[in-house]
């Protein structure tokens, strides 16, 4: 009985430690929520800009206790001393096993039910931005989109075509690429001064309310990252609110992807396991996107391929178009995105179509019935509707390809 009590004591102690850790985390999260609610009501930009997300910390689950028992061992039977026949129960061992949140998230994602595909994609809406040479489009929820092109002005529209905001780049250069963070902030790459910048919007409350007068919005642009020896080109925001940035060296001979958390470099992806470059060293398009399984997909225009690596930067596959087809000409990928089902979509500029493949690079279908004209930038909204920027005519098309 003493051994059993010792076992129970060890198990209960382990459970109590885990409960205490969880309770402390709950208190910290509650305090962070209160702090964020306070920040929503302040007008001090400095206080807001100093806030740093602790999502990564709170996503880390406490250690999981694994309790294992040894095989039961029976004492040798002594028929003359039946009273000594007892089962020997050893004391269990308690091991600490770190839980992998990312792996758990991927396993949860894999359980999602596939959405049924439409037999034929449907063009839902066309938005004429009036901007020629349109190459960037980013969805903000389901009703608003940021756009960019070969001017120094980035524009926010609703899907009724109303211009909501215009932001001029700080340097006067046209942005190479735009993205929207999980918090709704706009980020862009500025190749002219080799920087990655973020745009914050703060609503200024007037001292006196005047009927019919709207509150002003203060626009603040600040530098997140300033590069030396490299020029930032394309970028995307990740599920963990990191930034993946495609950049090229000053001599034009090297290309790499760098992962940033805020302004801190966390990872660099450049070579395969044989030491060969993963991506073309070219000033042609190298758009990129993160898939729900953490793979990174790059539309490498110069290589005529979609290059996919895992989160560690290891090459998974190269997609160069569907096998055994003569329907269309040379594959020329430009814009790229992924949806909630893990599908990879890329615009084929030369053929005015969109390729859809699964997360393993297997071709599924084309979108070639919506009258696309020189498609370039591409993204999906929260309902998996596709938004395509047509480069030459400045039109954004909204396409439904799931039922």
pLDDT, position 385: 96
Query: How many Å apart are CA 19 and CA 31, to the nearest integer?
Result: 19
Q: 27 and 142 share a domain?
A: no
Asked if the structure places residue 258 within a domain, the reply is yes
Using CB atoms within 10 A of its CB, is residue 265 exposed (0-12), middle (13-18) or buried (19+)?
exposed
**373-393, pLDDT tens digit by residue?**
999 999 999 999 999 999 999
Tens digit of pLDDT for each residue in 252-282? 999 999 999 999 999 999 999 999 999 999 8
pLDDT reported for residue 9: 76
Asked if residue 312 and residue 211 are part of one domain, the reply reads yes
Predicted local confidence at residue 11, as pLDDT:
75
The two beta strands, 177-180 and 163-168, are unpaired
Does 66 lie in the same domain as 198? no
Tell me what pLDDT residue 125 has: 95
CA distance linking residue 198 with residue 178, whole number of Å? 10
Residue 6 is assigned to a structural domain of this protein:
yes
Residue that terminates a domain, selected from 99, 134, 159: 99
Residue 329 falls inside a structural domain: yes
Interacting residues of 243 by C-beta distance below 8 A, sequence separation 6+: 179, 181, 187, 196, 224, 235, 236, 237, 259, 260
Count how many Cα atoms sit within 13 Å of the Cα of residue 211 in the half-sphere of its side chain.
Answer: 0
Residues 93 and 154 in one domain: no
Q: Which residues, listed in sequence order, are joined to residue 62 by a DSSP beta bridge? A: none
Closest CA to 163 of 176, 187, 146: 146
Range of 87's domain? 2-99
Tokens 């780049």 belong to 169
Of 99, 129, 154, which one is at a domain's C-terminal end?
99
Q: What is the pLDDT of residue 373?
A: 95
- Of the CA atoms within 13 Å of residue 220, those in its CB half-sphere come to 15
Structural domain contains residue 61? yes
Query: Residues 345-384, buried b or exposed e (16+ Cβ, 10 A)?
Result: bbbbbebbbbbbbebebeeebbbbebebebbbbbbbbeee
Q: How far is Cα 238 from Cα 295, in angstroms, rounded to an integer?
A: 10
Residues 141 and 236 in one domain: yes
Alpha-helical (H) ranges within 40-94 are: 45-50, 55-59
Residue 104 maps to a domain: no
Rounded distance between C-alpha atoms, residue 148 and residue 146, angstroms? 7
CATH code, domain with 295 = 2.120.10.30
Choose among 316, 319, 287: nearest CA to 301.
287
Taking alpha carbons only, the member of 202, 247, 248, 238 closest to residue 221 is 202
Structure tokens at 248: 């090229």
Same domain, 264 and 298: yes
Same domain, 188 and 263: yes
- Examine residue 347 and state whether it is found in any structural domain, yes or no: yes
Degrees, nearest 5: CA angle 242-23-56: 5
User: Do 256 and 146 share a structural domain?
Assistant: yes
The answer as to whether 111 is a domain residue is no
Dihedral sign for Cα 123, 129, 130, 131, please: negative
- Contact, 186 vs 31, CB < 8 A? no
Domain end among 70, 99, 128: 99
Pick out the chain residues at pLDDT < 70.
Answer: 1-7, 39, 41-48, 61-113, 203-216
Residue 73 has a pLDDT of 60
Residues 39 and 166 in one domain: no
Residues in the chain, how many? 403
Q: What is the pLDDT of residue 211?
A: 56
Residues 239 and 152 in one domain: yes
Number of domains into which the chain is organized:
2
Separation of alpha carbons 286 and 283, rounded Å:
8
Are 90 and 121 within one domain? no
Residues 156 and 24 in one domain: no
């Amino acid at each position: 009985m003493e051994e059993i009590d010792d076992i129970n004591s060890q198990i209960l102690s382990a459970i109590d430690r885990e409960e205490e850790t969880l309770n402390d985390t709950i208190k910290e999260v509650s305090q962070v929520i209160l702090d964020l609610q306070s920040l929503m009501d302040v007008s001090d930009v400095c206080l807001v800009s100093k806030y740093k997300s602790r999502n990564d910390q709170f996503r880390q689950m406490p250690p999981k206790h694994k309790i294992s028992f040894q095989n039961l061992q029976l004492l040798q039977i002594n028929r003359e001393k039946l009273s000594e026949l007892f089962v020997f129960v050893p004391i269990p061992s308690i091991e600490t096993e770190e839980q992998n949140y990312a792996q758990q998230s991927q396993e949860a994602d894999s359980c999602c039910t596939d959405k049924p595909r439409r037999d034929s994609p449907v063009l839902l809406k066309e938005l004429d931005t009036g901007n020629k040479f349109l190459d960037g489009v980013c969805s903000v929820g389901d009703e608003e989109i940021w756009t960019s092109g070969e001017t120094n002005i980035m524009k926010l529209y609703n899907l009724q075509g109303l211009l909501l905001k215009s932001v001029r780049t700080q340097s006067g250069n046209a942005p190479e690429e735009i993205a929207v963070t999980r918090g709704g902030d706009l980020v862009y790459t500025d190749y002219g001064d080799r920087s990655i910048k973020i745009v914050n919007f703060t609503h200024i409350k007037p001292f006196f309310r005047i009927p019919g007068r709207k509150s002003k919005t203060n626009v603040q642009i600040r530098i997140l990252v300033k590069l030396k020896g490299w020029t930032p080109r394309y970028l995307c925001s990740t599920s963990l609110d990191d930034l993946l940035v495609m950049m090229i060296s000053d001599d034009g001979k090297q290309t790499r992807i760098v992962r940033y958390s805020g302004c801190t470099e966390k990872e660099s992806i450049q070579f395969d396991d044989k030491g060969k470059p993963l991506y073309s060293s070219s000033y042609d398009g190298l758009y990129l996107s993160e898939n729900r399984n953490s793979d990174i997909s790059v539309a490498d225009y110069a290589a005529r391929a979609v290059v996919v690596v895992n989160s560690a930067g290891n090459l998974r596959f190269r997609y160069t178009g569907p096998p055994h087809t003569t329907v269309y000409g040379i594959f020329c990928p430009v814009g790229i995105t992924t949806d909630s089902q893990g599908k990879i979509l890329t615009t084929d500029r030369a053929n005015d179509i969109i390729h859809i493949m699964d997360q393993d690079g297997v071709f599924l279908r084309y979108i070639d019935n919506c009258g696309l004209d020189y498609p370039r930038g591409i993204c999906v909204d929260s309902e998996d509707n596709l938004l395509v920027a047509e480069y030459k005519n400045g039109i954004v098309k909204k396409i439904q390809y799931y039922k």
